[in-house]
Structure 1
Amino acid sequence: MDRISDATKYVELSLHEAGREVCVPDKIFSYTPKTYHLFHYIETGKGTLEYKGVTYNLHAGQIFYIAPGDKPFYKPDPNDPWSYVWLGFSGSNAARFLGLAGLSSSSPIYNDPDRKLKPFFEAVENEKRAKGVFDLTALGYAYQLFGELISTHLKVTPEVDAKKRHVESAKEFIHNNYAFDISAGDIAKSVGVSPNYLANIFREVENSSPKKYLIQVRMEQAAVLLSTHQYKIKEVAKMVAYPNQLHFSNAFHKYYGVSPLQYSETKGEKK
C-alpha cells in the first residue's frame, strides 16, 4: 500500500487496530496498556468496567473509552455477556476530538441510545477485516464517527457559562497556533480578556494554566511526529515552536521522562 492510502501513517488521526468480539460469560480477562486511545462500542449484552477507581455497569448502545497507558479491568455480565466492536487510534487531533466529545479517563462513557454511532464502528471494522489494512476509506469512516460523536454531544450538552467559553476559546487558539511563537498574552488577547483573568479561570476550569496547556499540546504533537520517524529531532523541535533543539529536548524530557531520541526509538517502526 502506498503511503497516501495508509491510514496508520497520518499525523492528525491514525488508526491502529479494530476488531469485534462476542464474549463468553466466564472469559478470563487480561488487558495490556496501549500507546494509543481505545474505544469499545457495546453492540449487545452487558458488562462491567472498573476504571480509575470507579465501577461502571454498561449495556448495549454505550461506548467506553480507555486512555493510552491506562490499565482498566472489564468483564462481560455472567448472564448477558456483551459483544463489542473496538477501535484503536491516535494522532495530533485525537485529544481535541475526545475533549469536544466529552470523553476522558475521568469521564469514559458515551451513551448512544439511538445507535447512531454503531454503523461507523462496524464500517471501520469491516474495512479492516475485508482488506487486512486500514486505508483511506476506513479513515474516512473514523472521521465520520468523530463528527457524529462531537455533534451529538454538543447538541445534548447545556450551553456552557462565560468562563468555560473563554477557556474553550483559549484552547482552540492554542491548538491552532502551537507551532508559532505565541505567549500567554497572545492567548488572552485572542479571547478578549486579560492574561491574569484567563489564568485564573483556566485554573478554575482546567486545573491548569494556559502556559501549561500550550506545553502539553506541543509535547503531545511532538510525540506524534517523533513516532512517525519521518523527521529529525531538530525538525520536530521547530514544528512545535522550539527553534533551539536543546531547549526542546529538555522540555520533552521534563514532560515525558525520556529524551526525544529515546521516545522515538520505542515508538513504531523506523522506515
Structure 2
Amino acid sequence: MPTAPESELLTPALLNQLERLELVTRKIFRGQLKGERRSKRKGQSVEFADFRNYVAGDDLRLLDWNLYARLDKLIIKLFQEEEDLHFYTLIDASMSMDFGDPSKLQYAKQLAAAMGFIGLVRADRVRIETLGQQARERTPVLRGRHNVWRMLEQLENIEAGETATLAEGVKNFCLRNSGRGIVLLLSDMMDKSGYEQALRYFMSHDMDCYVIQILSQEELEPDVKGDLKLVDCEDADEAEITVSAPLLARYDRTLKAFTGGVQEFCNRRGMNYLLANTQTPVEQLVAQHLRRRGLVR
C-alpha cells in the first residue's frame, strides 16, 4: 500500500477517519467505468443478483441453460454491477474567503482534500474546480489512491482573489461538466448579486448537490468595539460604524436570517445544506455532520 501523504491538508488524525469512509449519493447515476461502488442497476459483474424472463434483444450469453433444461423456460441471470461515481468539489476562491484564522479558504481546501481522498481511495472519479474558472478551463479528473499527491498539489495552488460571481462560477462549472454525480459547493455564499440563480443551475443539471456555507468564528461571533471603518475586500465599498450592543444584536439577527434563508432555499429544492464554523475540526465535520446528512458512511 502506498505511503500515506503528509500535508497540512491531510493530517494523520484526519486520514485515520477517512480510510474507513465512502461517499454516498441519494441518486443513481450511470458511471463511465466499473468502480468499487455497488449500484442498484443490474449488470454483468461476478456477483449474482437475481433472475428474470428472457426478452428479445437480451444477451444470449446470460441465459441459464440449466434452468432451461429443467423448466423449459428462457431465464436471464442478473448480476450486481459496480460503477464509478463522479464527485465534484467547487471551491469559492474569492477575496471574502481569505478571512479568519484559519481562513475560510484554507478550511475549504482541507475539507476538499478530505472528501477527495475518500473518493480516490474508493476509485471514484474526483474533480476539483474553483468558481473563477472559465467555461472551457477544465481541471483533470483524478481516480485512484496514487493521485492523492496530485490532488493535494492542485489544492495547495488555489489562492484567493477570483472575481467571478456565484452565478457565473456555477454556470461555467455546469457548462464544463456534463457528467452527473455529487457536487460539493464550498463557499461563504457572500455575493451581493445573491446565491439563488447559482443554485438553480445545479438543479438544471440534476446533480446531488451539497452546499457547505463556511463562516469564520470572527463572523459568527464578532469581537469588535468602538468606531470602525469597514472596507469590502472585494469591491472596496466603505462604511463607518460605531459598534454597540444593539448593533451587534442586529448583526446577529441579520446573519441568522441570511444563513437560514440559504438553508431554506436548499431544503425546498432537495439540496443538502450545512453551516460550517472554521473552528470545527474537519474530521469532526466529516465523520459526524456529513455522515448524518448522508454524504459519507
Shorter-chain TM-score bucket reads under 0.3
| TM-score, structure 2 as length reference | 0.25
TM-score (norm 1): 0.26
- In proportion to residue count, which structure has more helix? 1
Structure number with larger C-alpha Rg: 2
